[in-house]
Structure 1
């Protein structure tokens, strides 16, 4: 099976570059380039973005996402073709007969709950129809347009998350364009701030971290008030800023954002579901560990990440992503057995998300390279993910 490291090596050679030249362009060490190309270390998202920029290709071209064959094992991915059509229609979306505003809000809540509980397929199947219904609601009434626009914002927030979940990251910028348009008419000003912050997250895939940090700062500055809703979006902004800064090799800025996010948590005693932020004390701890990993301190990320006690109400995909990061950290410090156990924890809590995440594949290859013999547990996990070791 072709790995990200294999693709990087092939494209580097096609570009006529030596490993040291690619390392200089990507601003990573030549030892890192060599280790990734040899599948001894997993390619981090930040490394993939930097190398993709240096080679002039999309990040997905290096990771191989989306993983159609694997997704089709569970049946056709319902909703993706229709969502593509909705996105392509832009401001000319074909509207359909809407439900009542209360029913539309209930459907939006049900879709968000499905996404939160690692039922992304169910959410994806329903979101295009809801967006068309919301456009129908805009056309049908002059009343409550601000509320309809706010629901449209919520729908586009979730649509963007679904695009990333299933590996269709190239669709996300167009979804965010529509989010910004809807935010201008919404009766909830927090969506305008969230739109800027979410675009910063997408810009990480393009190694545009400086622009992303400016958008995070602009988004946070737009937020007014001190209630849970405002602080959830504000905290989400700081957590996003921490990861963007870490990938942009600005550890001090990343630490400042983590500190600012942590300062917001005392009144929020649980993980908030507002605006899809999943913000709370547990998520701050998860991001603190992730920042250590992205900043080049895998030992700290592995130790602190493994010791972190996640709240029982933490969203399964959020917990799954955490254990995927912990697994990558353990590989980097030479503990493949602990890495595989962390991947098992990710699978247990969020199987759908874990199976489709590119970093899981990279970590599996690194575990295989580090182990002297292939264990049944490693082989079984690799087979489940669709990886040939």
Structure 2
């Protein structure tokens, strides 16, 4: 196997635990997993799931990326993505510098359309295309917002900042994603758009979901709801509110608040029935199918794997489902099948994710850990699994 036994999340957990001066017994007393579970993860006999990594990071008071090894720079260099991050970072830093007479901008309508196209690229999991075009769009929109500010331009700039956040998260640059969210809040305030402000709270909630701070994440979800006018005629507000409920469902599941998770799912389903397919409204992919996907995610997060697999098999993803969301479904399904010892179906699900969204799958830490779990389950890894492990960088 083209895999280094000393280069995985478990070894990083062991290293950070030792740096903190903790034995495995002492560590197991600090977070909600057993001593046996910890020892298996550290030696590579068990994959480090996202919830496990978040719990370790919270217990040791370190960032999740210290444990996952993100960003995966070797693969980014191979995919010619590494050189695209600095221009994005620099464009985000222009927000308070005012007009730049040296910048020639496209027409307003063209830039607004370009910001929409960036969202479409991310939903289609075309990360290289989005990352390549993004800095110029942010730069030109920033200059235009200073030259002749309008609500339309501020909204477009907020959308571009949201795209920066999406790309940064998918590539593992979480510090950059936080900067992008700050800029999103800045632009949303100037656009006087409560939906954009509430969406920012949703994305911030997912930051705390990743880091294992679930109570803070749930507070952000409640804050997002408080910003919205959820009147009968406001479809946009209902859509964002529904998405906030979806975020709340997985946060509550991780926090072991089963009743709250179920309530969030029920409320999201109610909103989905009221708005119909709102998948393109703010590019949130909000519809009944996404509610069903989050209900499956709740089962995954609460480790009800048999129920999660039952739901996964019953799901029929519509053709309108965004490619990025479709790939996420296959990655979740692969994890469930791996946990249940269903090696061949799990590998098939990973290949389905790779075919749908190769860039997204390659940089998804959950996909990596599932592959590691499959390798451990296999006495002799079959060629498709060896190919997958080599492709993902193991």
TM-score, with length taken from structure 2: 0.93
Equivalent of residue 238 in structure 2, options 231, 243, 263 = 231
Give the distance between the partners of 1:269 and 1:122, measured in 2 at CA. Answer: 30
Counterpart contact for 1:77–1:121, Cα < 8 Å: no
- Residue by residue over 1:292-325, the C-alpha shift from the partner in whole angstroms, topping out at 9 and shown as x without a partner, is 1111212211231233111111111111111111
Quickly say closer, same or farther: Cα 1:162–1:366, change in 2 above 3 A.
same
The Cα of 1:219 is off from its aligned counterpart by 0.6
- 1:311 is matched with 318
* Residues 77-129 of structure 1: CA deviation (Å, up to 9, x unaligned): 45311111233455337743332221111111111111111101111111111
Q: For 2:272, what is the secondary structure of its paired residue?
A: coil
CA distance in 1, matches of 2:127, 2:270: 32
> Do the aligned residues in 2 keep the contact of 1:117 with 1:316 (CA within 8 Å)?
yes
Q: Which runs of 5+ in 2 are unaligned?
A: none
Between the aligned partners of 1:25 and 1:238, the Cα distance in structure 2 is 30
Change (3 A) 1:318 1:94: farther
Question: How far apart in 1 are the matches of 2:90 and 2:345?
Answer: 43
Which residue in 1 is equivalent to 2:154? 149
Contact 1:268-1:281 at 8 Å conserved across structures: no
8 Å Cα contact 1:361/1:385 also seen in 2: yes
Counterpart CA distance in 2 for 1:209 and 1:217 is 12
Which residue is 2:86 aligned to?
81
Residue 169 of structure 2 is matched in structure 1 by 164
Provide the rounded CA distance (Å) in 1 between the counterparts of 2:199 and 2:346.
Answer: 34
- In the alignment, structure 1 residue 65 sits paired with structure 2 residue 64: no
TM-score normalised by L of structure 1: 0.94
Count of residues in correspondence between the two structures: 385
Q: Tell me, what secondary structure is at the counterpart of 1:79?
A: helix
* Paired position in structure 1 for 2:141: 134
Give distance in 1, aligned partners of 2:49 and 2:99: 40
Q: Is the 8 A contact 2:209 2:217 kept in 1?
A: yes
Structure 1 residues 205 and 379: alpha-carbon distance in aligned structure 2, compared to 1, 3 A threshold: same
Question: Which of the residues 29, 37, 44 maps onto 1:39?
Answer: 44
- 1:359 and 2:371 are equivalent in the alignment: no
Which deviations, in whole Å up to 9, do the C-alpha atoms of 1:324-354 show, x marking residues without a partner? Answer: 1111111212222221111112112111111
CA distance in 2, matches of 1:272, 1:11: 41
2:289 is aligned to 282
* Pairing of 1:155-234 with structure 2 (within 5 A): 155-224=160-229, 225-226=231-232, 227-234=234-241
Post-superposition CA distance 1:156-211 (Å, at most 9, x none): 11111111011101211121111111111114321111111111111223222111
Aligned-pair CA distance for 1:221: 2.5
Aligned partner (choices 350, 353, 359) of residue 346 of structure 1: 353
Structure 1 residues 87 and 136, CA gap change in structure 2 (3 angstroms): closer
Residue 257 of structure 1: aligned partner: 264
RMSD: 1.8
